[in-house]
Structures are given as C-alpha cells and as structure tokens.
Amino acid sequence: MVMLSLSIACLVLAGGTDSEHLIVPGKSIGEIKIGDDFEKLTAHRKKPNFGDAAMGHLWATWLQEKEGRLDVYAVRGAGNMPRLQSIRITSAAFRLVNGLHVGSSMADLEKAWPRARRLHFMHGFSMWDDAKYGLVFEGQRDKCVALAVHPAGQWIQQSYIPYLSGGMAVVGH
C-alpha cells in the first residue's frame, strides 16, 4: 500500500494523472470511492439517466457529455445506507497509475495485469477481472472500452451488476 501511495504521489507530482482522474484498483475512480454513501454521490450530480433499486441493491448510470458513461452499484448495509460496491467508467480522461486508460490496447492491459481472468468473451467483447486488486477492464475487439473498480479480494461477479457493454449484459448472482 505504501508503494502504491508513493507511486501515485510521484505520478501526480510529475504532472501525470491528477487525483480527480486517477483510477486506484479496489479503491476509487477519481473522487468516487468504494464504500462511499450512494446518497452523497447523487447529491452532487444531476439525476441519473438510468437506474434501478430492489432488495437493498441500487445501480445508477449517468451519461455525461464530456466524461462518457459512469455506472455505480451500491448495496444497503449497516445503518441502511447504500454503499458503493463498484464504479465503472467509459471515459479516457481517467487513468491508472501506469497510464493505461479507456482506449488503451487490450494487449497492454493484459500485460500490465497478468493475473486478470477473462470472464466473458462474445462477439468481439471481452471482460477481464483482476480480483486480487479489484480492477475490471472491458474490451471491444482490441481496445479497452470501460474500466471498473470493485473491492479487492473478490470477483466482480460476486455482486449483481447490470452493466451493458458491447450489447451484452453482465450480471452476477
């Protein structure tokens, strides 16, 4: 964790990705963090374009003109407050500490995250998850089209996540 923090600090100081656009696997995308209160997130944004809530599970999608698509998934926990469990973006403005982003080649992402396991492959769409670190990358043919973070140490499929990418719904149990 110390090494990751030092790497992030060095990148920010060197003029790389600022914290508002940094993807930290298992932790955050920009200022949005795993474990954040869903209500707090929605209080600072316009109403989601899409969303659903049932049995303590919530998801919302914002279609943003300059920032692409933002998807969040939350679960009601202690105190009945819905807490974010996953965050997904389609914007190239957000970057991992190694500089990879939406639009990077899938080969580069697979090389940088060799422990990632391919979960889906259909009609040129693929989804890879590095459960140890909490990072998902989605590809359409050879380019990354979305990145998502979720709690480290678990597979993204351990959650119900109605994301659509490449015309395919990805739903866990």
- Asked if the structure places residue 39 within a domain, the reply is yes
Domain that holds residue 34: 19-170
Question: Rounded to the nearest 10 degrees, how much is the dihedral formed by the CA atoms of 14, 16, 18, 21?
Answer: -170
- Asked if the structure places residue 139 within a domain, the reply is yes
- Asked if the structure places residue 4 within a domain, the reply is no
Q: How far apart are CA 150 and CA 145, in angstroms?
A: 17
Question: Any idea what the Cα angle at residue 148 is, between residues 90 and 32, rounded to 5°?
Answer: 90
Among residues 11, 10, 17, the alpha carbon closest in space to that of 147 is found at 17
Name the pTM for this structure.
0.81
Per-residue pLDDT of the chain (173 residues; tens, 9 = 90+): 333 333 333 343 344 567 899 999 999 999 999 999 988 888 888 889 999 888 888 889 999 877 799 999 998 877 778 899 999 999 999 999 999 999 999 999 999 999 999 887 777 788 899 999 999 999 998 999 999 999 999 888 766 554 544 444 444 33
Q: How many domains in the chain?
A: 1
- Asked if the structure places residue 157 within a domain, the reply is yes
**Largest separation between any pair of C-alpha atoms in the chain:** 45
Half-sphere exposure of 17 (CA within 13 A, CB side): 21
